[in-house]
Amino acid sequence: MDLEKKFKIVLMILVLVISFGTIGYTTIEGWPFLDSLYMTVVTLSTVGFGEVYPLSPIGKIFTMILVIFGVAGAGYTISIIGQMIVKGEIRKLLGRRKMQKGLKELEDHYIVCGFGRVGRRIAQELCARKVPFVVIDNDPAKTEQSEKDCFLFVQGDATNDQTLLDAGIERAKGLITALVNEADNVFIVLSARQLNPKLFITARVESDEAEKKLLRAGADKVVSPHKIGGIRMALTAIRPNLVDFMSVVTFDQDTDLTIEEIQIKPNSPLIQSTLRDCAIRKEFGIMVVGIKKIGKDMFLNPSPETKIEAGDILIVIGEKEKLDKLETMAGT
């Protein structure tokens, strides 16, 4: 049984038993509400206190019924709640409540569909970069692992529209589907694109045929872990120093050096200045290794005379602290 449903049922039993006793004493004996409630709790707890007022014959019969059935029900309820506390289920329930509140507050976040080896690595990378995200997986064991990692999660089928809505897809910035089943990935992309046309969708792919289908379905980018892994292994064998450098600027969290993309906003003071004259290299010591202008392909190793315009996306390498300052200057 679902943890929240189980807790609601046992709590409801306790409330019904107490309400039954309170209403009974109020109706039969005509006692005030507080005295009736007190008498009910005292009776159910079996502490042995005396009656608040002398009981009528009918009141004594009602008390015997309350002791026989009410004590059993209240005892069962309290024992279940005690077990839940010992097993930490109450803490889990409160944690899920807090998580649900966190999901409602998410905006401009990413949705990671699938929490296998690839999905978990994606989540760890997003977490390391302090990017807000939520994980979707249908496997209870994966959900528990996500909970241990302190990731926001939604347990459910990512191919279901309601599950995506629960993850806040209408407010999301991007979606990454990393399921092994290619058909599920295609279905998720179709659903996600319909629910949020502005979403940036990245999909895992295993075959060239599936790559075409995912792009037609609405994926912005498709990634093959096997293809990337093969290329990386080949380069490690023939260009080990190059791979070491790329690892430092992309994956190594222990160094300040990283590679990042920064978009120039319309209010940025960098607009209309050249790479030679702007503060990117002079003040921050940041290298611009590529520029993508609106409607054009990526320019690698741009000329120092290249002008910066609104909407440009700069591919830069530098220290994290300096990159944060550049993002502020870029107007992001």
Report which residue type is found at 124.
Q
The amino acid sitting at 168 is: G
Model confidence at 71: pLDDT above 70 = yes
Dump pLDDT digits (tens) for 147-205: 677 788 888 899 999 999 989 999 999 999 999 898 999 999 999 999 999 999 999 99
Nearest to 41 by CA among 57, 22, 28, 23: 22
DSSP 8-state secondary structure symbol assigned to residue 286: -
pLDDT higher for 244 or 122?
Answer: 122
Q: Structure tokens of 251?
A: 């994956």
Q: Comparing C-alpha atoms, which of 275, 269, 245 is closest to residue 258?
A: 245
pLDDT at 86 over 60: no
* Band of pLDDT at residue 28, cut at 50, 70 and 90: very high
Backbone region of residue 324 per phi and psi (left: phi > 0; alpha: psi in -120 to 50; beta: other values): alpha
Query: DSSP character for 306?
Result: P
Q: What pairs with residue 135 in β-bridges?
A: 112, 153
Q: Strands of 313-319's sheet, edge to edge? A: 257-263, 313-319, 287-292, 298-300
> For the chain, which domains are there?
3-87 (1.10.287.70), 106-228 (3.40.50.720), 256-330 (3.30.70.1450)
Model pLDDT, residue 192: 95
- Which phi-psi region, left, alpha or beta, contains residue 156 (left: φ > 0; alpha: ψ -120 to 50)? left
CB atoms within 10 A of CB 146: 25
In the three-class reduction of DSSP (H, G, I as helix; E, B as strand; rest coil), residue 154 is classed as strand
Residue 291 CA, distance from chain mean position: 32
Residue spans of alpha helices (H) in 177-239: 182-195, 208-217, 225-238
Q: How many CB atoms lie within 10 A of CB 132?
A: 17
For the chain, the average pLDDT equals: 84
More confident residue, 136 or 95: 136
Q: Is residue 35 classed as helix, strand or coil in its secondary structure?
A: helix
Output the pLDDT for position 92.
61
What is the distance of C-alpha 63 from the center of its chain? Answer: 51
List pLDDT tens digits, range 99-117. 667 677 788 999 999 998 8
Question: Is pLDDT above 80 for 1?
Answer: no
Q: Which two tokens stand for residue 243?
A: 């791979």
With H, G, I as helix, E, B as strand and everything else as coil, classify residue 139. coil
